[in-house]
Amino acid sequence: MIVQLADIKKRLKENPEDEDILHLLKDLDYRKLKGHEIENLYRGLKKNDYNPDVNIAYLGNHTIEPLPRYVSVASVAQGLVTKEYVGTYNQHFQALLLPESDLFDFNPDIIFLSLTMRQLSPKIYASYLSLSDQERKEELDRVLKQFDDWINTAEAKTDANLIISNIPRPIYNQAGLADNMLSFGEREFYTELNSNLFRKYKKDSRVDIIDMDHVLSRTGRTGSLNQRMYHLAKMIWDESCLYEIAEEIIRHMRAIKGIAKKCLVLDLDNTLWGGVVGEEGVNGIKIGAGDPAGEAYQEFQHAIKTLKERGIILALCSKNNKEDVLEVFSRREDMPLCLDDFLVLEVNWDNKHENIKNIANKLHISTDSMVFIDDNPAECDLVRKMLPEVHTIQLPDDPAEYADLLRKLNLFEKSSITEEDRNKTQLYKQNAKRVKIKDAAANLEEYLESLGTIISIKKADHENIDRIHQLFSKTNQFNLTTIRYDQGNIIKFINDNSINISIVSARDNYGSMGIIGLYLVKTIEKKAVIDSFIMSCRAIGRGIETAIMNKIKKEYLIKGTLDKLEAQFIPTRKNTPARNYLSEQGFTRIHVNNNCEEMYCLDRKDTNLMPCPGINIEDQTWKETK
Amino acid sequence: MNKRLNYILVDILDLDEKELLDEVKQNTTDNWDSMNHLRLITAVEQEFDIKLSMTEIQSLDSVGKLRGIVKKYIKHNECK
What was the ipTM of the complex prediction?
0.86
Residue ranges of chain A with pLDDT lower than 50? 1-2, 621-626
CA nearest neighbour of A41 among A64, A59, A22, A20: A22
Residue of B nearest to A63 (CA): B35
Contact A40 B14 (CB under 8 A): yes
Tell which of B31, B42, B44, B46 to mutate to test the A interface (max A CBs under 10 Å): B42
Whether A213 and A322 share a structural domain: no
The pLDDT of residue A16 is 65
- Tell me which amino acid residue A477 is: Q
Q: Domain of B75?
A: 2-79
Among residues A237, A257, A277, the one where a domain terminates is: A257
Whether A66 and A43 share a structural domain: no
* Packing angle of the helix pair B2-13, B34-48 (nearest 10 deg): 150
From CA A603, how far away is CA A621, in angstroms rounded? Answer: 30
Assigned domain for A625 exists: no
Containing H/E element for A506?
A: strand A499-508
CA nearest neighbour of A84 among A62, A69, A105, A102: A69
Whether A317 and A191 share a structural domain: no
Among residues A360, A379, A408, the one where a domain terminates is: A408
Three-state secondary structure call for residue A15: coil
CA nearest neighbour of A602 among A575, A625, A581: A581
Q: Read off the pLDDT of residues A429-457 as tens digits, 9 standing for 90 and up.
A: 888 788 778 777 777 788 888 888 999 99
Assigned domain for A183 exists: yes
From CA A474, how far away is CA A484, in angstroms rounded? Answer: 8
Conformational region of residue B25, where left means phi above 0, alpha means psi within -120 to 50, and beta covers everything else: beta
Assigned domain for A126 exists: yes
The reply to whether A233 touches chain B by the CB within 8 Å rule is yes
Whether A88 and A236 share a structural domain: yes
Whether A362 and A433 share a structural domain: no
Whether A363 and A393 share a structural domain: yes
From CA A163, how far away is CA A513, in angstroms rounded? Answer: 32
Number of structural domains in chain B: 1
Q: How many CA atoms lie within 13 A of A109 on its CB side?
A: 21
- The bridge status of strand A478-479 relative to strand A370-374 is unpaired
The CA-based angle A239-A241-A246, given to 5 degrees, is 100
Whether A498 and A402 share a structural domain: no
CB A261 within 8 A of CB A370: yes
Contact A36 B35 (CB under 8 A): no
Distance between alpha carbon A426 and the CA centroid of its chain, in Å?
Answer: 21
Q: Where do runs of H (alpha helix) occur along A78-216?
A: 94-97, 103-106, 117-120, 122-126, 133-157, 186-201, 212-216
CB A575 within 8 A of CB A479: yes
Residues 65-84 of A with CB under 8 A from B: 65-66
Taking CB atoms and an 8 Å cutoff, what residues of chain B touch A34? 43, 46-47
Whether A379 and A436 share a structural domain: no
Contact B39 A231 (CB under 8 A): no
Three-state secondary structure call for residue A67: helix
Residue of B nearest to A227 (CA): B54
**Out of B12, B36, B57, whose CB is closest to A232?**
B57
Whether A159 and A201 share a structural domain: yes
End-to-end CA distance of chain B: give it in Å, rounded.
Answer: 18
Q: Read off the pLDDT of residues B32-43 as tens digits, 9 standing for 90 and up.
A: 888 889 889 989
Assigned domain for A624 exists: no
Q: How many CB atoms lie within 10 A of CB B34?
A: 11
The pLDDT of residue A520 is 96
Containing H/E element for A208?
A: strand A207-210
Distance (Å) of CA A306 to CA A259, A301, A342, A440, B51: 19, 9, 13, 35, 44
The reply to whether A40 touches chain B by the CB within 8 Å rule is yes
Taking CB atoms and an 8 Å cutoff, what residues of chain B touch A232? 38, 54, 57-58
Number of structural domains in chain A: 4
Longest CA pairwise span in chain B (Å): 38
Q: How many CA atoms lie within 13 A of A177 on its CB side?
A: 0
Rounded to a whole number of angstroms, the distance from the CA of B35 to the nearest CA of chain A is 8
Look up the CATH number of the domain holding residue B68: 1.10.1200.10
Residue of B nearest to A234 (CA): B35
Q: Domain of A168?
A: 51-257
Whether A32 and A98 share a structural domain: no
Contact B42 A35 (CB under 8 A): yes
Residue of B nearest to A41 (CA): B11
Whether A513 and A583 share a structural domain: yes
CB A569 within 8 A of CB A595: no
What order do you get walking across the sheet with A207-210 strand by strand?
Answer: A82-86, A54-60, A110-114, A161-165, A207-210
Assigned domain for A626 exists: no
Look up the CATH number of the domain holding residue A187: 3.40.50.1110
Whether A326 and A273 share a structural domain: yes
CB A567 within 8 A of CB A531: no
Give the dihedral sign, CA B67/B69/B70/B72: positive
- Tell me which amino acid residue A114 is: S
Contact B38 A36 (CB under 8 A): no
Look up the CATH number of the domain holding residue A459: 3.40.630.30
Assigned domain for A293 exists: yes
DSSP A611: P
